[in-house]
């Protein structure tokens, strides 16, 4: 059983595939010839990629020896040449041999990407202001498609809104210059605002008191509560953890810590990290 989305183009089916089917799917047209060595290396690669997108793409092969008319119509000069056709129009392409990763990157602009569905759902939740539920979906979208910049910005937004400011800053610092658009500026501002909120006089006061009275566990719990309210869940958990390490049954530290962990979004790495830390203390 051959691949169903690979066709050889002739004058007879040219119209149907290149003009009509490209209305619904991306058509990757591969111009090749039997005497062309690089063509023989490229073809299996294109067939393999096409095999991964049976519903979204067609690989249309044009044997330039047999179909000189078609090759001339496209103005093909060198072999191999690959053209991407959408809605009856060439939208992209390349000539000569290319690496598989380069070809995939080129196709990614025109094909549905893994994680698109999760991203869509996350976006709907964010619009309702439900960052908690959007978080695991955004994280999944990033895991499925690490290069998808939309997924990355969505994930960073969820990190900020659920209080993982330090992590959001780390993620932002890894965004390449070319991807730093208006969203990047907006996330940077959000981080700044969250940090300013964390610089409130009450919080500063408590931080000083904790520094001066390192053995006062109740002060540390109070500070942790303030930190969590200032969207600094990572620092709050770290602080409560030090309290529990000192005295596992002090005040309501254990309950507060478990509540704080449960309040984190599913998929937040902090959640599993601190869950492990607490369980190792308890058992």
> What are the residue numbers of the active site?
36, 39
**Whole-number Å distance between alpha carbons of 169 and 156:** 8
Contact indicator for 244, 253 with CB cutoff of 8 Å? yes
CA distances from 269 to 156, 168, 265 (A): 13, 12, 9
**Whole-number Å distance between alpha carbons of 20 and 10:** 15
Q: Looking only at Cα atoms, what is the longest distance across the chain?
A: 86
Cβ-based neighbours of 158, under 8 Å, separated by 6 or more: 122, 126, 131, 134, 135, 138, 139, 265
> Is the peptide bond between 80 and the residue preceding it cis, with omega within 30 degrees of 0?
yes
Strands 89-95, 81-86: pairing is antiparallel
Q: Which of 145, 125, 146 is nearest to 135 (CA)?
A: 125
Q: Which two structure tokens, joined as six digits, stand for 48?
A: 């393999």
């Amino acid at each position: 059983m051959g691949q169903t989305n690979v066709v050889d183009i002739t004058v007879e089916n040219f119209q149907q595939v290149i003009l009509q089917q490209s209305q619904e799917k991306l058509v990757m047209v591969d111009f090749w010839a039997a005497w062309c060595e690089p063509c023989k290396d490229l073809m299996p690669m294109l067939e393999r990629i096409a095999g991964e997108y049976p519903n979204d793409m067609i690989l249309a092969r044009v044997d330039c020896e047999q179909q000189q008319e078609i090759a001339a119509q496209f103005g093909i000069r060198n072999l191999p040449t690959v053209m991407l056709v959408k809605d009856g129009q060439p939208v992209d392409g390349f000539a000569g041999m290319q690496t598989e990763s380069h070809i995939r990157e080129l196709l990614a602009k025109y094909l549905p990407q893994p994680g698109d569905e999760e991203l869509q759902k996350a976006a709907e939740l964010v619009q309702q202001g439900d960052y908690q539920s959007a978080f695991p979906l955004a994280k999944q979208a990033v895991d499925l498609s690490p290069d998808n910049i939309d997924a990355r910005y969505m994930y960073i937004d969820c990190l900020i809104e659920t209080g993982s400011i330090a992590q959001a800053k780390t993620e932002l610092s890894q965004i390449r210059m070319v991807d730093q658009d208006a969203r990047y500026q907006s996330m940077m501002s959000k981080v700044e605002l969250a940090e300013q909120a964390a610089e409130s006089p009450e919080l500063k006061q408590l931080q000083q008191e904790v520094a001066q009275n390192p053995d006062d566990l109740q002060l540390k719990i109070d500070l942790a509560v303030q930190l969590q309210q200032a969207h600094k869940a990572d620092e709050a958990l770290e602080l409560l953890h030090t309290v529990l390490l000192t005295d596992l049954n002090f005040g309501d530290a254990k309950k507060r810590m478990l509540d704080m962990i449960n309040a984190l979004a599913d998929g937040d790495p902090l959640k599993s990290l601190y869950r492990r830390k607490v369980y190792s203390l308890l058992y």
